[in-house]
Every structure is written in C-alpha cells, then in structure tokens.
C-alpha cells in the first residue's frame, strides 16, 4: 500500500520532525511502498498535488528536516465541510487517494485538523472504504485535549524562556524604573506564557504572568507593579496574547489616517505609562516563537519524530480515526508513553492551563508547574550550518 502525509494549521519548528517520523516508519515497513506528501494540507489531496517522499531520507536530509521550521509541505486553513453539507469533496478525496493506491492518510495538525481526521475516518468507515485516517498532534499553543503536551510546544517554550532570560539581562542595565512587557502566543490558552515560570528557578522575573484563563484586573496590575518597583528597578511581565486588557482598544492614528490597533501588549503598555508613569516597552515575540528551530528542544524534536512514527505503526496495527497522544509516566526521570485517542474527542476542543497552577491573585504561575514544563525544553540539538546560518530543506 501507499500512504500520504500532510501538514496543516499554524506551523511549528518541529512539524517537519513529525513528517520525518512518518516517512521513517513508512520506509522501514515492508507493508508500505510509497509515502507521498500532500502539498498545503488536505488541499494537496483534493487537487491531487502530491510529491513522492519515499526516497528523500539521506542522513543530511534527516538532520535538515529536524532543523527546518514551518511546514515543509506547506499548510492550509481548509475546514472540511460536514458530509451532509457537501459530499462532493469527500468523493473527490476518496477518488484521489484510491487512484494513488493510498490506504492511509496522516494529518499533522491541531484541533481543526483532528476535526478533519474524525470526519474523514467516519466517512471511510460508514462507506466501508479501506482507507485509514490518523492524526499527529502539533501546536505551539499546547491546547490539545487528552495529550499531556503537543509536539512544537517544547521548542516554542525553549525559545520563549531563553529569549525572556536574555531580555531580563537587557532590561536591568539602566539604573531607572522600567516595565518590560513580553507578549507571548497561545491563543486562548496560557501554556506558552505560563512556561516562563521556569525562570523562577534562577530569577524573580517574570514578576507578573498574565494568562487568558483568569480575568485581568487593571487596578490590581497597577498596584502590583508599584509594589514590585519598590524592590526591583526592572519589572518583567509575561503577557499572553489571549488576555483581554480592556473592551476599549487603545488606538493611535498613523501617518495615513488609519487607526492602528495595537496588540494586547501595547494596550497594557499605554495603560501602565498612564497609571504608573515609568519607562515601559513591549516586546512581541511574534512568529519567532513558532519558527526558531535554531534553538529547538532536543526532547521536543525526538518526541515529534517518535509520535509521527508511532502513528504509522498504530495504523499498521489497524487503528483509524485516532490522534496520537503523549501520556506522562513520570517527571523525574522524565518518561512518556505514546497512546491513541479518538480524534473526535480532540477535535475543536481546547485545553486550558490548569487553574490550580495559577496564583490566588491571578498574577503569576505557581512553582508547582515548573516540573511539568522543565522536561519539555530539555536538551540542545546539533545544527548543520552553512556560512554561519542554519541550513533548511526545501521539498519540491
């Protein structure tokens, strides 16, 4: 049989490691002949835009897949319609898979992709079509249900915490009161922002951590900052992009008369400037959080490869409609098992950061959470460079 693999949703810096894992297991199996890559997620299957990946695995390409951020096959934001609303696309997908002798589809993605896995596997089962559909998780947001954590999160957390530790050094040089706001990704879940609590092992920063799981209190924030400034010249705030500062966006007009809406960091910056009056600056870590493969977590890369391979093995043992999950066995020594869960249970859901790890004042993360995060950022990867820059792979 042949199989196909695709990548979907927002990229991570190890989504190609999971791609590598799928290819490796496929190449290793004598049951699988060709492993195809679908360009731009499931759209490559719909439009029959496939490339053969069966022979790409050289030692160098394995290294390059591990250090190339973002989806090497391209991504999409395509949402598979319900079968009742549009059955035509289901027929088209089935035809293109069958025409290419493909018996299994592996979708590396987040909760939207698991919706696709759930719908498509149900369609295949309902119609007695022998095509299996498996989900491989990825997201820097770490907000997928059931799995202990998601591939991509550990490397994002390693970048964010490393960058923050360096920003702490940068913020402390001048002998004046200042507030530095670092705006961190995560959508409606606070995991990535919360991971900055790891810094508490060595510094007081971040002095304040705000997550979308709790309500933001302006007055409390201002009084907290004033209190912290009595002991520290430089206050560091880790702020999740999902936090709602106010209902009334702070706006400014640019040179062309357009109103520019700031991110939540700039909203908070304006507020602190107004109510505290010291120097305030905002650092948006932006897409670097999901693409800084030069500082990937070795644990994350290895797990991303392993979970991709495990998906192929699970399919070969007869599973379909499942997402692969990590189940944490222990923190010290760190140990995880890879298990399966129904993709329908993950589809479209979001796992919030646990309230019991948030301080009573809703302004920081308890040290209890450190042992959860620490193993995920562990280990440094060897990187192949060319003229001082990391090399990246291109799949055509």
Between 104 and 136, CB nearer to its own copies: 136
17 sits near its own copies (criterion: CB under 8 A): no
162 sits near its own copies (criterion: CB under 8 A): yes
Candidates 130-138, 196-204, 309-317, 340-348: pick the segment binding its own copies (CB under 8 A).
196-204
Q: Which residues inside 267-326 make contact with its own copies, applying CB under 8 A?
A: 267, 270-271, 274, 281, 283-288, 290-295, 297
Candidates 116-124, 129-137, 142-150, 195-203: pick the segment binding its own copies (CB under 8 A).
195-203
Q: How far is CA 149 from the centre of its chain?
A: 10
331 sits near its own copies (criterion: CB under 8 A): no
Q: Please, what is the minimum distance in Å from the beta carbon of residue 388 to its own copies?
A: 4
219 sits near its own copies (criterion: CB under 8 A): no
Contact residue for its own copies among 38, 161, 178, 364 (CB under 8 A): 161
CA distance 108 to 112: 11
Residues 6+ away with beta carbon under 8 Å from 322: 117, 134, 135, 314, 340, 341, 342, 343
Between 248 and 330, CB nearer to its own copies: 248
Closest CA to 93 of 120, 115, 54, 75: 120
Active site residue 378: no
For its own copies, how many residues bind (rule: CB under 8 A)? 71
Q: Please, what is the minimum distance in Å from the beta carbon of residue 380 to its own copies?
A: 6
69 sits near its own copies (criterion: CB under 8 A): yes
Contact residue for its own copies among 158, 187, 207, 351 (CB under 8 A): 158
Closest CA to 164 of 291, 338, 13, 283: 283
Q: Angle formed by the axes of helices 153-171 and 298-316, to 10°?
A: 170
Closest CA to 198 of 170, 164, 224: 164
Q: Please, what is the minimum distance in Å from the beta carbon of residue 110 to its own copies?
A: 14
Candidates 143-151, 219-227, 242-250, 309-317: pick the segment binding its own copies (CB under 8 A).
242-250
CA distance 6 to 219: 47
CA distance 362 to 393: 43
350 sits near its own copies (criterion: CB under 8 A): no
CA distance 85 to 119: 12
CA distance 208 to 237: 5
Please give the C-alpha separations between residue 55 and each of 28, 37, 58, 286, in angstroms, as whole numbers. Answer: 12, 12, 8, 35
Between 143 and 183, CB nearer to its own copies: 183
Annotated catalytic residue within 30, 52, 112, 141: 141
Contact residue for its own copies among 215, 230, 231, 247 (CB under 8 A): 247
Q: Output the six-digit token pair for 289.
A: 């959080």
204 sits near its own copies (criterion: CB under 8 A): no
Contact residue for its own copies among 56, 108, 198, 358 (CB under 8 A): 198
99 sits near its own copies (criterion: CB under 8 A): no
Q: Over the range 72-93, which residues count as b (16 or more CB within 10 Å of their CB) and which as e?
A: bbbbbebebeeeeeeeebbeeb
Torsion, CA 241, CA 242, CA 248, CA 251, rounded to 10: 20
Q: Please, what is the minimum distance in Å from the beta carbon of residue 1 to its own copies?
A: 28
Q: Please, what is the minimum distance in Å from the beta carbon of residue 394 to its own copies?
A: 9
User: Among all residues, which ones are annotated catalytic?
Assistant: 141
């Amino acid at each position: 049989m042949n199989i196909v693999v695709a990548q979907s949703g927002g990229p991570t810096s190890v989504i190609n490691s999971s791609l590598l894992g799928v290819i490796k297991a496929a190449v290793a199996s004598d049951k699988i002949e060709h492993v195809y890559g679908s360009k731009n997620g499931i759209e490559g299957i719909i439009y029959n835009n496939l490339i053969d990946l069966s022979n790409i695995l050289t030692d160098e390409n394995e290294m390059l897949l591990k250090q190339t951020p973002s989806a090497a096959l391209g991504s999409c934001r395509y949402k598979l319609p319900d079968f009742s609303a549009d059955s035509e696309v289901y027929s088209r997908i089935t035809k293109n898979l069958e025409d290419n002798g493909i018996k299994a589809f592996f979708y590396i993605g987040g909760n939207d992709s698991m919706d696709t896995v759930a719908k498509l596997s149900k369609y295949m089962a309902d119609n007695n079509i022998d095509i299996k559909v498996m989900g491989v998780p990825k997201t820097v947001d770490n907000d997928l249900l059931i799995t202990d954590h998601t591939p991509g999160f550990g490397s994002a957390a390693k970048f964010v915490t490393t960058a923050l530790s360096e920003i702490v050094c940068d913020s402390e040089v001048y002998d004046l009161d200042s507030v530095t706001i670092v705006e961190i990704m995560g959508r409606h879940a606070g995991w990535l922002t919360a991971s900055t609590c790891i810094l508490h092992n060595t510094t007081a920063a971040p002095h304040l951590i705000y997550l979308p799981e709790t309500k933001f209190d302006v007055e409390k924030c201002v009084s907290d900052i004033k209190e912290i400034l009595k002991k520290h010249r430089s206050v560091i705030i880790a702020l999740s992009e999902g936090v709602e500062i106010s209902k009334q966006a702070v706006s400014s007009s640019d040179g062309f008369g357009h109103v520019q809406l700031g991110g939540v960091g700039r909203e908070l910056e304006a507020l602190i400037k107004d109510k505290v009056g010291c120097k305030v600056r905002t650092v948006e870590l932006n897409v670097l959080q999901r693409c800084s493969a030069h500082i990937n977590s070795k644990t994350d890369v290895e797990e991303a490869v392993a979970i991709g391979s495990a998906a192929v093995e699970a399919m070969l043992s007869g599973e379909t409609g499942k997402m692969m999950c990590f189940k944490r066995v222990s923190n010290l020594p760190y140990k995880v098992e890879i298990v399966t869960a129904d993709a329908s249970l993950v589809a479209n859901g979001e796992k919030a950061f646990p309230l019991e790890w948030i301080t009573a004042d809703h302004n920081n993360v308890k040290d209890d959470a450190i042992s959860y995060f620490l193993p995920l950022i562990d280990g440094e990867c060897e990187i192949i460079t060319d003229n001082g820059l990391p090399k990246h792979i291109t799949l055509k």
